[in-house]
Structure 1
Amino acid sequence: MINALFVSDEMPGGGIGDIAAVEVDGALTVVGVSRWGRDGVWVWESAQNVWRNLVLPFACAADPQAAQYPDAGNELDSVALAVSGGRVVLAAGGDEQGVAFWDVGTGELISGTSFDAPYIAAVAALDGGDGLARFATCSGVHWDGITMWEPLGGLSPVELPESTVDALGTGSFEGRSLVVAGTREGVTLWDVDSRERWASLYTDGEDEDEEIDDYDEDTDDERIHAVTLVQQGGGLAVVALTDTGSVLAWTLPSPRQAGSARELARERLKQVRAGLRDDLDEPDEEIEPIRDPFDGHEGSITTLATGVVDDRPVVVTGGTDGTVRVWDLSDGRAIGAPLTGHRGSVRKVVTGTLRGRPVAVSAGDDRTVRVWDLVTQAH
């Protein structure tokens, strides 16, 4: 039996719906919000096992309409964290509020929003780097596309053209920052610096002339609930979770290197002269997902994340059975026994490092946060 490294006291308010975690000075700082976003933002300092209410200025206070709503306050249910210039930056929004940015240490509002800004379905921090913190947001049915933010850089937001996006993940590959998006049609992968879409992946791998399986009868049930990516061998793996608790995984070769318009034109000309299909900008329809590769939870999978343990890519899942499980991505086999302790559904799992060791952080309906050592689990 593997015990959690740390177990928090119960977070005040309702069950935890979302968390974000970063390592600061050798300890984890975890920010949590309730499922409905109305119980405030709480910071768990793992070293002291203390929950601190993070009192945040109202993100829409500078909006001229604020005078009409004197009782309005933040309603935040999606959060992300990044360390930038010695500051821990919180990006947060919700089903009824646009994204804004605060300093976790001081509570200062770095950049606010307006009442008319698109609401937030998901927010994610971009991995690593020595530059200023960057974040990606999507708005689900409220607004199409992905928006990139650099709140400490004073730059205008950058929009990546996309359809309806409900889930986001981030990562890096060969020094490039990547965003993976769960759309109503499938999953797309973006290089955010070149603003190039690297791959388009579809949840339905069936041929148009083939009979459609039962799971495709209601496409609304196949909305991507969570999506993540991890390096696997010389390429990438993308793992997605649908609203119905179904898991899909794709393995991709190394993404194409971004090039200038002239270089791409020359490559297209080579393709045509060689009699090959000019498909540089075509979706990767031939890459079909492996469906439901992880079998073991006694109930639905509700959340997932990816990580690397001893050079092995792993997937960490949480479920309605209150357990956290770790899987070998290459063969779908469970690594070790289920991680138990939560008293209710696990709503969010994130992965990261603590003093150089890979860890998973889980939270859920029992209002507690648990930190798991993935190295111990793998052995």
Structure 2
Amino acid sequence: MADATWAAVWGTGGTPEDPRLLRTLTGHEGWVTAVATAVVDGRAVAVTGSRDHTVRTWDLATGRQLHTPLVCRADAWTSTTAEVEHIATAAVDGRTVALLLERLGRQKRVLLLDPAKGLPAGECVRVVETAELDGLGAVLLTLEGDRTLRLWSVATGGEIGSALPARIVVGRHDEPVAVRAEAEGAVRTWNLAGQMLGEPGPASPADGPSGRPAEGSTDSPADGSTEGAALVVGGRLVAVAFHAVGLAGFLDGETAVAVVGELAAACGRRSGEVVPGSQVAEVDGRPFGLVRQPDGALRLWDRSARGETCGSDGDGWAVTTAALRGQRIRRPRDVDGQQDWTWQLVHPAAALDPTGAAATDPGGTALPAPVLVAGRAIRLTADADHAVRLRDAVTDVPLGERLAGHTDRIRAAAAMTTDGGQVRAVTAGLDRTVRVWDVATGTPVGEPLDGHTAQVWDVATAVVDGRPVAVTAGADHTLRVWDLAETDGPPLPAPGGHDAAIVAVAATTLRGRPVVVTAGADGTVRTWDAATGSPIGEPVATEAALLAAAEADGSPVVVTAAPDATLHRWDPVSGRATGDPVALPSGRILALATARVDGRGVAVTGGSDGTARVWDLTTGEPLGQPLTGHTSRITALATAAADGRAVAVTGSWDKTVRLWDLTTGRQIGEPLTGHTDWVTSVTTTVVDGHPVAVTAGRDATIRVWSLRTHRQLGEPLPAPAGAIRGTTATVLDGRTRLITADGTETLSVHDLTTGAGTASALTFPAPVHAVLATADGRLVVGHGRELTVLVPASPGGTV
């Protein structure tokens, strides 16, 4: 946490107490799916890819991000954004680069990133065709990620012809029949026999496709056209790239390439034939990758040697480059999976199939590259029952016993040599755990590293300040750095938390002691001693979407709302139900609060039918008539005492806030208007002795309303875009602070006394979905499946 105003007094789970966890890196807003490590300018770094469509570089010693995140490309035709599936690091020309395997639909491309600067360093281009053209010699046709076609001279390494944006006229069978592009200042149209249709015309923004069919074609062009790219040599069309629609072997939106005219004849193909591409070329019988660098140069990549993957100096495949001059190049056509060859040149792991699963062989799913143990090359494989097997990398003979422990598919693995010379294998899986194995003995080392609150997608190893570490990437949006030198000792004991995300928290008192009640997506409700963190009683097995605590007949009671539109009451000590479930006629319960009305404990519910209802917590009977007035579902609700009467404040999809007298069941005044989108959160507090309601909306504003004058106080406060997940208020040093959760790892803080946001913020290892300020000044935060309780570091902190 960056805010010194609060101090953590206890938390659930093993993560805060596990001595092996060195740090948690937060910043990604989606699943972290790929990670690789390297040493750049003498410091250990990690490069990560996420489903938030960004690539980030981290300093592993400090946990800070380096450089501005890179944003993946977006496709204008499909309105989708690419994701980075895998990351590797390699040495190229004496410097470290990161290689990113990016997927957009069925299209893959391999990008280079300079982690020292955080800038793109090149792109592996697809080889479409090679041929001998009269007067030009050997030529190479390539396709880049933005659908740009280029023709290269193998003899000189120079580019031939012009790459032009084009409009493609599509025929009756979804195949291109004509290409129109600007060339040499004029608009020209060709058919797919390479013949120009008509005379060149002047370029004009209003120019569209000619709409004329190709000569000799029986197809009539469709009304529409699609954007594409053309390659023109000496005024003649030789190739065209376009969005494939309905073509066999292509997904809609994928780039297809057709060779035209002289180039088609030189390749031994008919004009207009669609040609599959590859990410690898072959020189003298060896596979090479072609890389286009930012300066426009095309480079030839050769796999020169395989680096050791065990030990701190392993970089996987070593890569060197050479100028593209005088090389005999051809595109191999008889090898499956060519699109992955470039990746295999630089990544020590096995190639992946389109589903994202590792390619399998009779020996199981290959995980990391072989490691050396006592001079013997050993590789790891994962069996179908989620066990790990050691095999001789040369003979494929199994070694030792199966390493059983994971309960779901193993997603990734890495290896590292510790200070003592032991080789450790680290495996990560969809069971949310990371496990460490002694490769020499085939036995697990220590307890599982179970700090992640969701699936673990990737793992890499590194040396940070002389210490071997594992870096894991998870669907909980975090990276975690683990000390591999300390895995011989079990983690320190800590109270166990929920087995799934915490969705709601409440606070009450039990025999004079403050307690915290939590509801989790694991279908349990748990009670904790707010001071010590000790669990009280057994967990209550119930599915609770909402949670509140109150007092009924002098005893504490926990109130939960289930997804089946029923209200339940529980004894927080015994875990037993107090009374029968109450079936609510208002549809699904979307908001819940408790209050005291005329000396009795009541629950107030807001439903999907737009009504609020008041219930006696002792009898389970409704009190009065439903509170009607909203024209859409009630999504937020809070209670308060204002001018000596109990009131409820409701917020709705109808963009209004309404006040209700809980004694009479009547609305107080007119609806409070100002929000321009759904009201998603309501809390009540006191500002300078004045009772107020604070509401947050999907319009990215926070508004403060007087419960006495029924007017908005001050200007709206800014809020993160989207729905606020929860709000709570507390008083620190005489100022009322509003704390908001928006589903990220960070809680925002506003000073309601001044109306200004504060620079302080609270950051947690996992997204926060529940937050509550208790009556004695504690802040209760449910982040992921764990619970942390904080107290004000300042003596003036109260609620």
TM superposition score category, shorter chain reference: 0.5 to 0.7
Alpha-carbon offset, residue 80 of structure 1: 2.0
Alpha-carbon offset, residue 196 of structure 1: 4.7
Aligned to 1:139: 562
Aligned partner of residue 101 in structure 1, secondary structure: strand
Whether 1:338 aligns to 2:777 is: no
Q: Deviations over 1:354-378 (max 9, x none)?
A: 5786543222144322444545559
Aligned to 2:634: 224
Aligned partner of residue 508 in structure 2, secondary structure: strand
Aligned partner of residue 158 in structure 1, secondary structure: coil
Task: Confirm or deny: 8 A CA contact 1:78 1:93 kept in the other structure.
Answer: yes
| Aligned with residue 606 of structure 2, among 157, 165, 182 | 182
| Aligned with residue 90 of structure 1, among 499, 510, 516 | 516
Aligned to 2:529: 103
The equivalences for 1:1-379 within 5 A come to 56-57=495-496, 73-85=499-511, 87-113=513-539, 117-126=541-550, 133-141=556-564, 144-152=565-573, 156-159=577-580, 161-163=582-584, 164-185=588-609, 186-193=611-618, 195-204=620-629, 222-242=632-652, 244=653, 246-252=655-661, 254=663, 287=666, 293-296=672-675, 299-309=677-687, 312-340=690-718, 342=720, 345-353=723-731, 359-377=737-755
Q: Are the structure 2 counterparts of residues 355 and 56 from structure 1 closer, same or farther at C-alpha, using a change threshold of 3 Å?
A: same
Q: Are the structure 2 counterparts of residues 55 and 361 from structure 1 closer, same or farther at C-alpha, using a change threshold of 3 Å?
A: farther
Aligned to 2:84: none
Q: Are the structure 2 counterparts of residues 88 and 233 from structure 1 closer, same or farther at C-alpha, using a change threshold of 3 Å?
A: closer
Alpha-carbon offset, residue 122 of structure 1: 0.3
Q: Deviations over 1:257-280 (max 9, x none)?
A: xxxxxxxxxxxxxxxxxxxxxxxx
Task: Confirm or deny: 8 A CA contact 1:246 1:292 kept in the other structure.
Answer: no
Aligned to 1:45: none
Bigger radius of gyration among the two: 2
Distance 1:363 1:313 in 2: 22
Q: Are the structure 2 counterparts of residues 367 and 375 from structure 1 closer, same or farther at C-alpha, using a change threshold of 3 Å?
A: same
CA RMSD of aligned residues (A): 4.5
Distance 2:621 2:537 in 1: 27
Alpha-carbon offset, residue 148 of structure 1: 2.2
Alpha-carbon offset, residue 305 of structure 1: 1.3
Task: Confirm or deny: 8 A CA contact 1:8 1:369 kept in the other structure.
Answer: no
Distance 2:703 2:654 in 1: 14
Aligned to 1:21: none
Distance 2:701 2:495 in 1: 33
Letter in 2 for 1:348: G
Q: What percent of counterpart residues are identical?
A: 26
Letter in 1 for 2:682: L
Task: Confirm or deny: 8 A CA contact 2:558 2:570 kept in the other structure.
Answer: yes
Alpha-carbon offset, residue 326 of structure 1: 0.9
Q: Are the structure 2 counterparts of residues 345 and 359 from structure 1 closer, same or farther at C-alpha, using a change threshold of 3 Å?
A: same
Task: Confirm or deny: 8 A CA contact 1:124 1:136 kept in the other structure.
Answer: yes
Distance 1:167 1:11 in 2: 34
Q: Are the structure 2 counterparts of residues 178 and 376 from structure 1 closer, same or farther at C-alpha, using a change threshold of 3 Å?
A: farther
Q: Deviations over 1:47-86 (max 9, x none)?
A: xxxxxxx965366xxxxxxxxxxxxx23322222335457
Distance 1:306 1:253 in 2: 15
Alpha-carbon offset, residue 191 of structure 1: 3.4
Distance 1:181 1:107 in 2: 30
Alpha-carbon offset, residue 130 of structure 1: 12
Task: Confirm or deny: 8 A CA contact 1:201 1:288 kept in the other structure.
Answer: no
Distance 1:39 1:85 in 2: 37
Unpaired runs of 5+ residues, structure 2, are 9-23, 30-452, 454-474, 478-492, 757-799
Aligned partner of residue 605 in structure 2, secondary structure: strand
Distance 1:5 1:178 in 2: 38
Distance 2:539 2:662 in 1: 39
Letter in 1 for 2:525: V
Letter in 2 for 1:362: T
Q: Are the structure 2 counterparts of residues 341 and 305 from structure 1 closer, same or farther at C-alpha, using a change threshold of 3 Å?
A: closer
Q: Deviations over 1:127-158 (max 9, x none)?
A: 7x9966432111132xx432222313676433
Task: Confirm or deny: 8 A CA contact 2:563 2:589 kept in the other structure.
Answer: yes
Distance 1:98 1:223 in 2: 27
Unpaired runs of 5+ residues, structure 1, are 16-33, 41-53, 60-72, 206-215, 217-221, 256-283
Alpha-carbon offset, residue 159 of structure 1: 4.0
Aligned partner of residue 337 in structure 1, secondary structure: coil
Q: Are the structure 2 counterparts of residues 372 and 158 from structure 1 closer, same or farther at C-alpha, using a change threshold of 3 Å?
A: farther
Relative contact order: is structure 1 or structure 2 higher (C-alpha 8 Å, sep ≥ 6)?
Answer: 1
Q: Deviations over 1:306-343 (max 9, x none)?
A: 23445643210123354432112345422123334757
Task: Confirm or deny: 8 A CA contact 1:80 1:92 kept in the other structure.
Answer: yes
Q: Are the structure 2 counterparts of residues 368 and 326 from structure 1 closer, same or farther at C-alpha, using a change threshold of 3 Å?
A: same
Alpha-carbon offset, residue 111 of structure 1: 3.5
Alpha-carbon offset, residue 123 of structure 1: 0.4
Q: Are the structure 2 counterparts of residues 179 and 57 from structure 1 closer, same or farther at C-alpha, using a change threshold of 3 Å?
A: same
Aligned to 1:29: none
Distance 1:137 1:131 in 2: 19
Distance 1:80 1:328 in 2: 25
Alpha-carbon offset, residue 175 of structure 1: 3.9
Q: Are the structure 2 counterparts of residues 118 and 146 from structure 1 closer, same or farther at C-alpha, using a change threshold of 3 Å?
A: same
Q: Are the structure 2 counterparts of residues 100 and 119 from structure 1 closer, same or farther at C-alpha, using a change threshold of 3 Å?
A: same
Q: Are the structure 2 counterparts of residues 344 and 166 from structure 1 closer, same or farther at C-alpha, using a change threshold of 3 Å?
A: closer
Aligned to 1:28: none
Task: Confirm or deny: 8 A CA contact 1:247 1:291 kept in the other structure.
Answer: no
More helix by share: 1
Distance 2:605 2:28 in 1: 28
Distance 2:583 2:598 in 1: 24
Task: Confirm or deny: 8 A CA contact 2:589 2:607 kept in the other structure.
Answer: yes
